[in-house]
Chains A and B, each alone.
Chain A
Amino acid sequence: MKPGWEAVIGLETHVELNTKSKMFCSCPADIPDEPNTACCPVCLALPGALPVPNEKAIEGIVKIGLALNCEINQSSLFYRKNYFYPDLPKNYQISQYTFPVCEHGSVPVDVGDESVTVGITRVHMEEDTGKSTHVGEGGGRIHDADHTLLDFNRAGVPLVEIVTEPDIRSPEEARAYGAELQRIVLALGVSDAKLETGSMRFDANVSVRRIGDETLGTRSETKNVNSLRSLQRAVAYEIERQIQVLESGGSIHQETRHWNEDSGETTSMRTKEESEDYRYFQDPDLLPLDVSPEWRNAIASTIPELPAVQRARYVASGVDAKTAELLADTAALSSLFEEAVEAGAPGRAVGIWLTGDVVGHVRRDDGDLDAISLTAAHLVELASMVDGGKLSSSAAKEVLLAAVEGEGSPSEIAAARDLIQVSDSGAIEAAVDAVLAENQDAVEKIMAGDAKPIGFLMGQVMREMGGKADPNVVRELLHAKTNP
């Protein structure tokens, strides 16, 4: 960011819940490909149809609220948000306004080596719209489209909106918050939280001000951000754009902007003057939603370990923060890691093998981490072989990758590939004595105080042993025998 400027960022995130049925009817919420096959009088807004709230969706939003340290309102209200759009069947969306299900939360987010806390203003329940496909000259936009195809399968799918305080200060923080929120939602199991399919989507509110200014700048809202990377890019673009406008004497308009992934730019969609008056009012078809303390506690008891706690646990078992994040973010690795460490394997070594060697190997072949043959028992055995001096560290990696490919257990592989180190000091001592006898000049140098020839002697012994001597044992013997 340009020196002298500060960015103020708040994010609104929509998460589609993976409940069996939709928010207000019994149609499947798992959207079928064939258009308009998961619809009923309620989600098509036929005359006379009425909404009835889905309890499972309420459980989902309460889980999210609790995970984000929110207060859960015992009584919350559904509102109608009125606007006309062809893929909104009732031409109003059932949403929340005053008294959402969850309010006043916060979530700690790691950005590099720092940790920042992002305040959560509210988490509220609403329903998704249908999908419009604009066909014709407009290139998928409604303007200049010849006609529009409507699919109401998505209409009424439960949607949770999570709104942060304007606590985020950089594109990196925005991305880190987005990633952490995605991890939390995935850990809770309430959504598949895929940005590419839109089951999780971000809108970024961005403003800038000169450092020291008390008042906030005018903000823009950027939509159509569909990856964590584009979230970071879009926010960065908006910050730079706004600073440039202000520095050249212009002013920022409150408006909605559209992120264009290909051009890497945001463009104006509509200004505040064109924005709608949603005429919110409490939905008379729905009673206040009661979440009793008993229900809240029952839901709380189903919340699994959250990603931040999991990462802290991994760090305590010896891995660094980055490795802990990589492990925790990948279910296939975290289960191997946890089981191996539980069985006594050293966390640090197992963490490095998994996140470094195994991931690198599998990625190189475009493989699937879930399909590898490596087991936690393999990792435990491998660690104990290294610890016992039976494998060199390079041999251990070779064995590890062979185990990934399903060649057997580490001891089988090491034996088959003849990789077992000799740590029998008798055999090694004979080799050391032979080498020392042939290299008296080197021995004399060492005894005179020049340590350099030790490396040469090490190499000679290892060659004598066909590379399979435990280097630690060799080093110890050389030292003992050349000590004046």
Chain B
Amino acid sequence: MTDLADLTIAEAGHGLRKGDFTSVDLLDAVDRRAAVTEAHLHAFLTMDHDGARAAAEAADAALAAGNDLGPLHGIPVALKDNMCTIGVDTTASSQILAGWKPPYDATVTARLKDAGAVIVGKTNLDEFAMGSSTENSAFGTTRNPWNTDTVPGGSSGGSAAAVAVGSAFGAFGSDTGGSIRQPAALTGTVGVKPTYGLVSRYGLIAFASSLDQIGPFARTVDDAAVLLEAVAGWDRRDATSINGPVPDLRGGLEEGVAGLRVGIVTELSGDGIDPQVLAATKGIADKLSDAGAEVIEVSVPASEFALSAYYLIAPAECSANLARFDGVRYGHRTTVEGTTEDMMSHSRAEGFGPEVIRRILLGTYALSAGYYDAFYGQAQKVRTLVRNDFAAAYERADVLISPTSPTTAFKVGERAADPIAMYYSDVCTVASNLSGDPAMSVPIGLDSGGLPIGFQVMAPALGEEMMFRVAAEVERLAGFEDRASLATSDVVVPS
């Protein structure tokens, strides 16, 4: 018999409404899964057992009373620990926020609750979402359920690992330079970075405000669509959120790719990409062609400079965004005695980890008088070029494709001492953050080491419907049925 924790959201929703099981049963299933896997993974920082149980019971009662809140009703999901949850610890994996309980819900949190979802807990991340491996967490590294010697990617590694192993049916992460798509690729899950402004950032602890975007992790493209639809749409609390209709993401999933123009991005499909990843990507491109798409090569020249621009813009914004953590109103405060300035600087030095401090310093420098034009100003010009080049590329192609990550999952510790090598993990993903366009990763196979390979589908702004339509075809063509080894191990599946 299938363990309930291995159902898709669609299957779970179907069973709930048929009366085969309850939301509490689903919660019990993911709890049992987590009870076994967490010792190996450390995907969660906080499990909200009481809150989740109450929510599951409420969901069951509502459904019994005929009050159906939609496809997420009664479904256990997880949130990256940089999204505010009222009364439940929200730390961004930083000592500076250890023990902080927000007095308010992020808009995403509130919308999930309104949709009847059961929030099981808060997942691990690189501190303040700065990293590509989840090794930069102040509360311990998360491991990859496909091979616990490897990283799950990052910064949303906890959410990716939880979905991959079945300790949540779906999860939300945030993507500033690839922090949803790269861990999705490394854990064999579907991960979506929506158009900038499609999902409210209110209550998301900011890393780089002009780049941050919340999106879902799921085991299928359809599940990802369900999760995204539940949280998308205008929010009066976020001045950058787009005031327009929520796209119908599920409607076109069966339409296929016949007649669509699919562009392989030249600059993201050559040097620096692992040959096995490249081969798998080309293999899917060929199948798309066989399925009736017109597959062409498209150049996005400025994407070569995107990574450099990203690593100036993101630190610059974070240097201001993280200024509020000063020990005055909340969070860690030093015990060192001295002046007000001493209090603030000691609190920050003690509370922030080394990668966060590195980026604050980088960003402060890039914005300083005399350096602004050469660094931040120049990076903004590159950003404009990236936007223009993508706009030109979308004149020739309906969607663009590339690998999601230059490599499959790497070993824990392998890149930890080399920031530049770690930054390179984002080489295929940052451009979409700079342009603000949507992009998602779909698992397409395993490398020779049994580690998942992710395939990236990119679309123009608010082109989510087209992006999901192509992603669904990629999913069918890839026929990726494998599950993370930890999810199928003897300790997890009772015989």
Contacts and interface: CB of A to CB of B under 8 A. Distances in A.
A, B: real partners: yes
Interface in B317-335: 317, 319-320, 323-326, 328-330
A309 B207 CA distance: 52
A466 interface: no
Interface residues of A, number: 30
A53 B367 CA distance: 25
A53 B237 CA distance: 10
A277 B367 CA distance: 9
Contacts of A51: 239
B367 A89 contact: no
Contact of B237 (A50, A90, A283): A50
B204 interface: yes
Nearest to A148: B340
B202 A49 contact: yes
B205 A48 contact: yes
Contacts of B325: 47
Contact of B320 (A52, A80, A86): A80
Contacts of A287: 239-240
Interface string A31-48: 000000000010011111
Contact of A84 (B326, B330, B376): B326
The B interface is mostly helix, strand or loop, or mixed, namely: loop
A47 B324 CA distance: 8
Interface stretch (B13-21, B96-104, B119-127, B388-396): B96-104
B239 A285 contact: yes
A353 interface: no
Nearest to A84: B344
Q: Which of B103, B238, B367, B372 has the most CB of A within 10 A?
A: B367
Given A48-B84, A48-B202, A281-B367, A84 B209 contact: no
B323 A91 contact: yes
Interface in A253-291: 277, 279, 281, 283-287
A373 interface: no
A358 B155 CA distance: 75
Nearest to A145: B340
Nearest to A147: B340
Given A84-B326, A91-B326, A277-B368, A284 B210 contact: yes
A358 B83 CA distance: 65
Interface string A1-44: 00000000000000000000000000000000000000001001
A7 B166 CA distance: 76
B369 A277 contact: yes
A57 to B, nearest CB: 14
Interface in B128-180: none
Contact of A47 (B100, B239, B341, B367): B100
A47 B323 contact: no
B329 A50 contact: no
Interface in B57-85: 82-84
Given A41-B103, A41-B104, A284-B317, A53 B202 contact: no
B201 A45 contact: no
B369 A285 contact: no
A51 B202 CA distance: 9
A142 interface: yes
Nearest to A80: B320
A284 B369 CA distance: 19
Nearest to A92: B320
A284 to B, nearest CB: 4
Q: Which of B92, B236, B340, B376 has the most CB of A within 10 A?
A: B340
Interface in A132-165: 142, 148, 150
B376 A86 contact: no
B95 interface: no
Nearest to A51: B239
A42 B97 CA distance: 17
B328 A46 contact: no
A41 B329 CA distance: 11
A82 interface: yes
B45 interface: no
Interface string A87-107: 001111000000000000000
B344 to A, nearest CB: 6
B201 A50 contact: yes
14 contacts: A47-B97, A48-B84, A48-B202, A50-B239, A82-B320, A84-B344, A90-B323, A91-B324, A92-B323, A148-B340, A279-B319, A279-B372, A286-B239, A286-B240
Given A50-B239, A51-B239, 11 more contacts: A46-B103, A52-B236, A86-B340, A90-B320, A90-B324, A92-B323, A277-B368, A279-B319, A279-B368, A279-B372, A285-B239
